[in-house]
Structure 1
Amino acid sequence: MRGARRAATALAAVTALLLAGCSGGSGTADDGRVTLEFQSLAWQKESVDANKRLVAEWNRAHPDIRVEYVQGSWDSVHDQLLTAFEGGEAPDIIHDASDDLADFAYGGYLADLRDYLPARLRSDIPDRSWRTTTFGDGIYGVPFLQEPRVLIADAARLRASGVRIPTPRRPWTWGEFRRIAAELSGDGKYGVAWPLKEPVSATLNLSLSTGGTLFHRGADGRVTIRFGAADAVVPRTVHDQVNTDHSASGSTLGMGGSDTLPGFFAGKYAMVPLGFSYRQQIVQQAPEGFEWQVLPAPAGADGLAQGVSPQTLSVSEDSPHKKEAARFIDFLLQPRNTVRLALGDWMLPTGTRALKDPALRTPKNGWATGTALAAGLRPAPAQSVRGYPEWKDKVATPALQEYYSGAIGLAELRRRLVEDGNLVLARYQR
């Protein structure tokens, strides 16, 4: 669960944070001992504890290379890092997400890790995951945790309705999902709640299942936007559920995922599409006796494929201790340690050995359903697109919000995403 924000208004607060809490990267003591700064964005208690314990274990085993834990925030990480890079104050080891790396990688702020990563780590993480952190010829981050989107369902309500329960082997189609959501609606209750306060990543990532890619790279390397029939399936489903079928609540379109949980627990919504890590909140907040289950997201022409932007670990280009930083990353992502990080964040590891751990394959809390979806996870469509943050904020977010609310139609959505979107991207590709 990233929730990364890129608001320019965070700059003032971030500058204060840097002055107060960042010592300005690594250093070497007179006795030769190296000190590295590791900025972590872990925020859930279990995740923070897991990270801090691993840092402590490293420091006990490596007294000559000390790692200092620095707490960052998903809410301001992009602007905070930009300020830190430009001011020469960046931490050595940087926790972020792959869809936030492109501008930093192309801007020369991140180290190319190809000469630093051990063969074990390179081979354990699938190529499809490495593609999320590959820009040009270089690798600028190690993808280590990923989060599929799933349907969190009211198990008792689905059971009482008699609808077919989908599984990773037999998921619902998008058409079947729409029909079942309608069947589960009525008497002031809805079949589904779409929390789409930030609609872009959810729309693009789920559209991979229908063959939608939106962004197309030509032979000259330039990226343009095309909105075809495959790209329209997911947004049209959401639009029609809200405005035609009335099987989805329009009031949730402006909500974040957490905002929908009280209504879900109260029986107002039968299903909520959420990131996999929301299961932790549900375990903590669900009323006693409430039955819930994890279902796979609907499948399209490309099956259960969906886009993800994994959490990543990168090294600052300005760090004088890149080799030592890479050694710490390798330690942090040993399979047994990656499992600890995954359990703390309620997410899936990218590493194949960690993904096989029995602790991540239990039916309880839907772990087994999540791990069954891992093979279908692909790089998010906008992964390496320069200018994506601006396109997302200025073009795609308002256009999708208006379309989902019924304020504009599909033709106008297409025009704005394509025509206005290509004008934005062109500025980054001159």
Structure 2
Amino acid sequence: MGLRYYSAMTQVIIVGFVCFLCPGMFNALNGTGGGGQLDTTAGNNANTALYSTFVVFGILGGAIVNLCGVRWTIFVSGFTYALYSGSYIYLNHTGNSAFTIAAGAILGIGAGILWAAQGMIMVSYPREEEKGKYIAIFWVIFNLGGMLGGILPFAINYKKDNGSLADGVYIAFVVLECLGAFLGLALAPPSKVTRDDGSSVVLVKYTNLGTETVEILKLFINPLMLALLPMCFNSNFFYTYQFDNINGALFNVRTRGFNNIFYWGAQMVGSYAISFLLDSPKFTRKVRGYIAFGIVFIVFNAIWGGSLGLNIKYPEPLPLENRIDFKDASRAGGAITLYVFCGIGDALYQSFAYWIIGALSNDNQLLARYIGFYKGMQSFGGAIAWQLAAKKVSHRNQLIANWVLFAISIPSMLYVVWSIKDHSEPIGPKDTNSEQYEEKGIEQAA
């Protein structure tokens, strides 16, 4: 069946390209270590500010999307990514990090709302038996942005082995992120979106501030959400170690971009591969969850074991003149391989987490809140991790913290998988009141 504009698949593809251009570019910039700066302090403090506001607006994001709609929330949020990338041009010329840190805090607001909208679309639009496929399709498109973002600094800084990224790289990021913001307006109102079986993705037509406030508060006494807390907290915590302590601390600037091409490419491979398991009709959903958990468990223990070996060899950042270049095969091979494996692990972890949340319900309004909670708690972990880096906590201690947090999350992950049912509540009847829904001016999935 060909793609229809109002089909669930088309909408997931559109939001995938929005994230390709906005969060994808941010990820590429962040993946260079310290926002591409020689001194990572400003970038680390900006990330702390970013994830601090992301905590609040991640949690509130689902309610904001339910109240304001997906198109305009994504449109406005997209420009906060451009502001953040542009702030590094100012930093390059003044050395003053205040604007970059403030831009990070503003980006946290926008990112919290954008990711709540994205997550709602990705996990509530597909049918139950194809949620893994939709997650993979989104993740592949999204991480194409990271790959492109890796190519830009690699190409522009190819003859500049050390130092901070050139202004041209940041300008390119700003232009692409603005395009992503405008692309958000191409999304259809959820009231008009239908699945291939003819069912509407809209389950509930009206919401208000009071309802959303009560429902957000109820998340903090929901046993399944509380059980997901360790997994949520850990899901962005490990980025700091991967981006700063591996890519940023060991490689020169052009090789960081080179590495990110393969890091984000590996993400595409990981998400695509696990989608076959997550949607497999050969197993019940609970069995699929246990197998996926086992894969994540093995891969992440391998990642942290390999990171320990690399940390023993390079306990702290290499001197600038001794940073590894991709042409130095004897030193680069093992470290780059580990970094690429980190990309696979992240894709497996995030796909597994989104699939778990999507398996808890088919109600898009409820899932918008669940995703907001996930992103908020995820950002809480990210804020702490980036501040540990900013405070110059040793790489070894950061590694230990990552490994311990992963171990702590294991029992609660298993509990949530054990709680998964083969089918969530019914999708619901076709929406026969779309015209009334639109006349009220409500475009959101609420």
* Interval containing the TM-score (normalised by the shorter chain): under 0.3
Structure with more of its chain in strand, by fraction: 1
Work out which of the two has the higher radius of gyration on C-alpha atoms and give 1 or 2.
1
TM-score, scaled to structure 1: 0.23
When the two structures are superposed, what TM-score results if normalisation uses the length of structure 2?
0.22
Greater share of residues in helix: 2
